[in-house]
Structure 1
Amino acid sequence: MNSLEQFSAYMNRLQGKIPSFFGNMCRLRTLDLSNNKLNGEISHFFQNSSWCNRHVFQNLDLSHNQITGKIPESIILLSELEDLHLDGNSLEGEVTESHLSSFSKLYDLDLSQNSLSLRFVSSWVPPFQATSLTLASCKLGPSFPGWLQTQNSLRWLDISDNELNDSVPAWFWKKLQNLGWLNMSHNNLNGAIPDIPLKLPYGPSIILNSNQFEGALPPFLLQASGLFLSQNTISDLHSFLCNQIIAPNLATLDLSNNHITAQIPDCWQSLHQLLFLDLSENKLSGNIPISMGKLAKLEALVLRKNNLTGELHSSLKNCTNLIMLDVSENNLSGRIPSWIGESMQQLRILNMQGNHFSLNFPIQLCYLRHIQLLNLSRNKLSKAIPTCLNNFTAMAEKSINRTQTQRLIYGYNITYREIYGPFASFYYQLDITWVWKGVEHVFRDPQYSLMSIDLSCNDLNGEIPKEVVYLFGIVSLNLSRNNLSGEIPSEIGNLSSLESLDLSRNHLHGRIPSSLSQLDFLGKLDLSYNYLSGRIPLERHFQTFEASSFEGNIDLCGEQLNKSCPGDHTTAKPEEAAGGDGDDSVFYEALYMSMGVGFFVGFWGLIGPILIWKPWRIGYLRFLNRLTTEIQL
């Protein structure tokens, strides 16, 4: 084995202590033991090896194992290292410049996802020129790392979650001219991004989420393929978008959770390649602009939690590739447009809750055969729920083809790389805020697992469509707080995937279908405040639901409500069963009392003394013997 130059056991479920004998393979250049379950202290790996190959060893990958301990300074023996990956372990302690002092050829370093602290003196000049530095969660802060100024070959830099509490120096932004990937998210970086004339030939993905960047964005950032600036304090959008600079390959623009005010600028035509746009949780007002209809490739439009008004403009029907449309928690009004169902037939997620949409539930929404999440709650919809719900064919399937959906949404194909460049990132994840089992939750990429309909808090009337029982994959159905009447569909037990059902505060009547007790996954049930009657089923786990699930139905009875049903009890006295009261009942009470007293007196007056006192017992037995003899004669 001394002639072995490369050894790879990537993702082979290896367990036990990290082996050290590889250091005795004198020709070994590359060792890849990543994505296993190896453990033990990393220092033993170096100390127990002679490392006769240290002058030829170039690539070491121990990432994503369970290795512990501190990185020893003896690592400098591997002075020819070019590629070092120790990420995704449980390493701890400090890494100083002395650990890296001999690595003049190092170009790829990944120490992320450990508990390491990188403590470099401010004057440190690294001996290497790295092309990739991945140092996420490595505690570089609080000052911005000045030694990065010496790195002139960087294409990939990740210093996210590093406790940086500083402004970003001007020299750093100029390095974007060479970068393809920059991640500085989840720090406390502050100040404005300077407006400088830069060319970004690599179309980088720039991820600056969860910092304190403020003010307006400089136009040069439009050259990025992905721009992620959620959870900052950006306040101006107009000067960024409306400067007549074309965004040739911008795929993602995420400016959610900022302080952007005024109206949405009406100059989206320059971002014609955009796939994902998220402006949620800002302070935007006014109408949705007409030029948004120019975003023909758009797959996700997220505008929730703003102050938008007016109707949805018909220009949006040109966005035929939309997979997610979320305009929830605004002040939009008018009808729900029929063209949503006619033009946006790729929709998986439609969230319009918390607006002022009125009139009927348009029948054209039934054309959305791929829909998985439909939320029209807290509007002013009236009339009946259409009976075409069984056209939601995706909800009729019990499982979701995750791979197919992932390809559709995130474009894992060569064509996307050709359009958006080699560093294009589809880091953006679809997410949605949804009331789940009575509690508001945020779901990440819900289209992989969740199928739900929420029409609650409207003025819908008529019966619950029987076609709903064919949505076999639905896990949550909320029709509460409407004016629905009629009975609960008897075959609702067909919805075997159902985990949450809320039909409360309607005008439903009749019995609770016994088929509901067949839903083994049902964890949340609310049928309260209707006109339901009869006995609450007790089969299977149905008795685990509390009284609050059924209260407000005056004609319901059963153990859950601690209320007996007619015929639950029978009596031993015919007179009572016939309703006999008065003198007869008094007579029988007196009779039973006198019988009890007589038994007590008779027992303790005669039998009791015989059992207790021996002379009486002997005399009584002699009397019985004489009596028996006389009878025999």
Structure 2
Amino acid sequence: MAASFATLHVLFLVWFLPATFSLSFFFFKAESISNVSCYEKDKQALLTLKRGLTDHGHVLSSWSDHKDCCIWDGVFYDKKIGRVTELHLNYSRLGGEISGSLLQLEHLNYLDLSGNDFNCTPIPTFLGSMFSLTHLDLLWANFSGLIPHQLGNLSSLRYLSLGDNSDLYVDNLHWMSGLSAIQYLDLSSADLHREVDCLQIMSKFPSLSELFLQNCQLDSLNPSLGFFNFTSLRVLSLSGNQCNHKIPNWFSNLSTSLLRLDLYSSSLKGNILPSIFNLEKLEFLSLYFNKLTEQILEPLGQLKHRTYLDLGYNSLNGPIPSSFGNLSHIRTLYLDQNQLNGTIPKSLGLLSKLESLYVGKNSLTRTVDEGHFRKLSKLKDLYMSETRLFFNVNSNWVPPFQLYSASMSSIKIGPNFPSWLQSQRSLHIFEMSMSGISGNAPGWFWNWISNVTFINLSNNHIKCDVSAIFLSSTVKVLNIANNSFYGPISTFLCQKKIRKNKLEILDASNNLLSGELSHCWNYWQSLIHLNLGSNNLVGRIPYSMGALVDLQSLRLQNNSIYGDIPSSLKKCSNLRLIDMGDNHLSIIPLWIGEMTNLLVLSLRSSEFNGYIPQQICQLSSLRVLDLANNNLLGSIPNCLKNFSAMALPNSNIDAFFSTDWDFYASYVENLKLAPKGKEMEYKENLKLVRLIDLSSNNLSGSIPAEISDLSELRFLNLSQNHLSSEIPPSMSNLTFLSLLDLSYDNFSGRIPSSTQLQSFDALRYIGNPQLCGDPLPKSCTIEEQSLNRSPIGSVEDDSKNSSFYIGMGVGFTTGFWAICGALFFNRTWRHACFRFAGELKDWIYVTTMIKMNLLEKLRVCLNK
């Protein structure tokens, strides 16, 4: 994440500054050459170029036959020779075809087409015949295919950038030997793995100063070679390759003038070799997200010119070297996500230019006090979370810094609320969850957070009346979960002073909030994640919650809410997670099928009656369906195969389950599930869960064969129902199941033979007296084996017969039983009869309940 920030910063400089420079230069150019006439041959060549291009940004609108090309946007003209010499068309939303008319611009030495979209077309080979070019920039222009060998003819080229295009590749790089004047070379994201001598070839360029080869599918940096002749190199980026070897020794032979070395995310192993210590002038070193082990050696702290050091996300151990206090120019120091132990050396407090200090997610211990921050007057970002540090400063301490972000979760800070926070007037990111803070929040606190964007005080012991909370328009995240906040929820939601809030995440779960949900949701229309679970809330879900049209997760679980789920929630079409478990609700609404973006639907233990509506199968994105421990009747819908997200490999939905606000400030969705009977909380791993839990209901009929199509299903619990018939043999196709529970139903026959179904404990099948076969101790008789081999009554037969009987209607009940009696000895048809009877009863019950609810609402309206 830290490296990502650095990359974005570099890209900003690469993209924005050249564009700004070019635009400002247009005005200068228009004044200085207004009296110069454009060479006609150059003008016609440019007009031909324009005809082949698509100009979505209207950048070429000034290219007119009626105007002199000397004043056209993006065109630069040399008065001395009277010819066009430069084209600056970067980030201009151009596309289409690049015309060969460019060859007629005989004096063109600068061509910049970066940041456009040429729709995966090849790089034009004729560019290799533009011998005057010294600067060619095709960065991020969506070219693809083989990098043309003809570019090797450009012996005057000093700057070549082909980075970050779509599927560029090389078959070899020997053609590059012609680029004798090259100083800047960027082939980032091009596939170079076919050329095993890649680095040897590039080391022969005597003037090469900057080399960018990140994400080039290199599988080796040639660690066995002892020498590379990079005599002029100042910047080297080899990040994002999969090397799987130690840091090469040849780094010690790099130019002593090397200023920047990027090796992040390159699968480098072992320790940080002393060869890097020879790079005396090195200012920027990134080894982020590798597989480095062993201790950080003290000599690394002797590189006094270092301004940026990133060793985060490795497996480095041992203490932080005290020599790091000698890095007098250091501005950014990332040591997070390692296995570092010991304490933080007080020598770090001498780094007067330090702006970012990241030491979190380590095994650091002992006390941090005022001495650790003695001279850190420029510190902006402090990340100490998930260590075993004790932050112990005097109550009257005034820090020398003004922080932008303070991430101090899971370290010992309390029991007192840290008073030094009052001095921090620039704080935007504030995390102090699980920090042992207890007691009442001080009166100054809620006024102090007026400029904070992200607040996480979860998992402490803070007491506070919610009516005291003041949210300014800057606050976007408020996480106070697992504390002792109390008071009526309506006093917080409806107070006038926060009606202009822009809150996007509100998590007040596991507190002592009380009362009914208010009708003030119009004031909270920026909400994306809302969690009010595990409080003392009562009453109905208000219709006004439909105003939360941007809502993606709604958590009201474990309260005393009752009644219907209002149809107004249909307006919240972006909902991806609904958790209303452990309440007192009525029936699952038919409109639930319209919530097609739902990933998680948890309605367990909420006293739902009626049946599971067929419309639920319209939720093709569903990954978790938990309806356990209700009073649901009828059969399992026979359309479960429509849950396509449970039949396909994982798709990228991380952005929903974890919302990042900063490099380390994030909000992670969580959900309590009981796939194995014991309730467990899922957080980061929730995105991997595929679950159907219909246990502890009154469901009848058989298991739909379609369930076998859900090949990615991990947990299936159908226990403690009234399901009958055989277990479909096709269920052996569910090879990814981690748990299957079919206990305490009425299944019969043999458990289908497969490695998967026999791998579960016998307890997952008990309570089915007529079920037999491994892993149960009961062996199958000949009759039961033959029934299993000849499944006359498959689910398809059941469905057809059930549909037939349903079509007969209530008026033909007597005839129905006569037929059913005649077929009594046919086992499968007998199940169909019973299944129909159960469904008929459910239909009558649900229809009656719906009509009664409608009559009750009508009565209430009339009374009003």
How far apart are the structure 1 equivalents of 2:544 and 2:178? 72
Q: Which residue of 1 aligns with 2:235?
A: 132
| Contact persistence 2:235–2:259 (CA under 8 A) | yes
Aligned: 1:193 with 2:297:
yes
What's the CA shift string for 1:559-597, capped at 9, x where partnerless? 556469xxxxxxxxxxxxxxxxxxxxxxxx9xx89xx9x
2:591 to 525, 533, 539: 539
SS at match of 2:106: coil
Q: Which residue of 2 aligns with 1:432?
A: none
Aligned: 1:163 with 2:267:
yes
1:235 to 304, 326, 341: 341
Aligned: 1:346 with 2:451:
yes
How far apart are the structure 1 equivalents of 2:354 and 2:278? 19
Q: Which residue of 1 aligns with 2:169?
A: 68
How far apart are the structure 2 equivalents of 1:489 and 1:300? 37
Q: Which residue of 2 aligns with 1:378?
A: 482
1:278 to 370, 375, 383: 383
Structure with the larger RCO, 1 or 2 (CA within 8 Å, 6+ apart)? 1
How far apart are the structure 2 equivalents of 1:364 and 1:99? 68
How far apart are the structure 2 equivalents of 1:367 and 1:4? 58
RMSD: 3.3
Q: Which residue of 2 aligns with 1:299?
A: 404
| Contact persistence 1:370–1:394 (CA under 8 A) | no
How far apart are the structure 2 equivalents of 1:542 and 1:505? 25
**Superposition map of 1:507-518 within 5 A:** 507-518=560-571
| Contact persistence 1:274–1:298 (CA under 8 A) | yes
Larger radius of gyration: 1
| Contact persistence 2:115–2:141 (CA under 8 A) | yes
Distance 1:60 1:498, change over 3 A: same
Q: CA deviation at 1:461?
A: 1.7
| Contact persistence 2:310–2:335 (CA under 8 A) | yes
| Contact persistence 1:97–1:120 (CA under 8 A) | no
SS at match of 1:230: coil
Distance 1:460 1:388, change over 3 A: closer
How far apart are the structure 2 equivalents of 1:289 and 1:70? 65
Q: Which residue of 2 aligns with 1:112?
A: 214
Distance 1:86 1:547, change over 3 A: closer
Distance 1:395 1:518, change over 3 A: same
Aligned: 1:88 with 2:88:
no
How far apart are the structure 2 equivalents of 1:28 and 1:506? 71
Q: CA deviation at 1:496?
A: 0.8
Q: Which residue of 2 aligns with 1:330?
A: 435
Distance 1:209 1:516, change over 3 A: same
1:505 to 558, 564, 588: 558
| Contact persistence 2:254–2:279 (CA under 8 A) | no
Q: CA deviation at 1:553?
A: 4.2
| Contact persistence 1:207–1:229 (CA under 8 A) | yes
| Contact persistence 1:329–1:354 (CA under 8 A) | yes
Q: How many residues align?
A: 506
Distance 1:68 1:546, change over 3 A: closer
Q: Which residue of 1 aligns with 2:547?
A: 494
Q: CA deviation at 1:242?
A: 6.6
Distance 1:556 1:495, change over 3 A: farther
Q: Which residue of 1 aligns with 2:111?
A: 7
How far apart are the structure 2 equivalents of 1:327 and 1:293? 18
Distance 1:209 1:196, change over 3 A: closer
| Contact persistence 2:341–2:362 (CA under 8 A) | yes
How far apart are the structure 2 equivalents of 1:83 and 1:224? 27
Identity fraction in percent: 23
Distance 1:92 1:310, change over 3 A: same
| Contact persistence 2:228–2:253 (CA under 8 A) | no
**Superposition map of 1:401-412 within 5 A:** none
How far apart are the structure 1 equivalents of 2:199 and 2:428? 48
How far apart are the structure 2 equivalents of 1:394 and 1:374? 15
Q: CA deviation at 1:510?
A: 4.4
How far apart are the structure 2 equivalents of 1:543 and 1:318? 47
The one-letter code matched in structure 1 to 2:173 is: P
2:531 to 442, 461, 478: 478
Q: Which residue of 1 aligns with 2:130?
A: 25
Q: CA deviation at 1:337?
A: 3.3
Q: Which residue of 2 aligns with 1:612?
A: none
Q: CA deviation at 1:143?
A: 3.7
| Contact persistence 2:561–2:584 (CA under 8 A) | yes
How far apart are the structure 1 equivalents of 2:348 and 2:604? 57
What's the CA shift string for 1:497-541, capped at 9, x where partnerless? 1121111211223443332233222232222322345x5543363
The normalised TM-score by structure 2 is 0.54
Q: CA deviation at 1:221?
A: 3.5
What's the CA shift string for 1:203-246, capped at 9, x where partnerless? 61211112215312331246311111112222234424576x2x
How far apart are the structure 1 equivalents of 2:394 and 2:340? 20
Q: Which residue of 1 aligns with 2:422?
A: 317
The one-letter code matched in structure 1 to 2:212 is: D
What's the CA shift string for 1:67-105, capped at 9, x where partnerless? 113442221221211111101223323235541253011
Larger mean CA deviation between 550-559 and 107-116 belongs to 550-559
Q: CA deviation at 1:542?
A: 5.9
Aligned: 1:466 with 2:519:
yes
| Contact persistence 2:169–2:190 (CA under 8 A) | yes
Q: Which residue of 1 aligns with 2:789?
A: none
How far apart are the structure 1 equivalents of 2:271 and 2:595? 60
| Contact persistence 1:163–1:187 (CA under 8 A) | yes
Distance 1:490 1:352, change over 3 A: same
Distance 1:28 1:310, change over 3 A: same
Q: Which residue of 2 aligns with 1:411?
A: none
The one-letter code matched in structure 1 to 2:513 is: L
| Contact persistence 2:251–2:276 (CA under 8 A) | no
Distance 1:388 1:119, change over 3 A: same
Distance 1:481 1:191, change over 3 A: same
Larger mean CA deviation between 187-196 and 321-330 belongs to 187-196
1:264 to 365, 368, 380: 368
Larger mean CA deviation between 189-198 and 284-293 belongs to 284-293
Q: Which residue of 2 aligns with 1:78?
A: 179
Distance 1:377 1:293, change over 3 A: farther
Distance 1:304 1:58, change over 3 A: same
How far apart are the structure 2 equivalents of 1:288 and 1:488? 46
SS at match of 1:262: strand
Distance 1:374 1:290, change over 3 A: same
Distance 1:537 1:194, change over 3 A: same
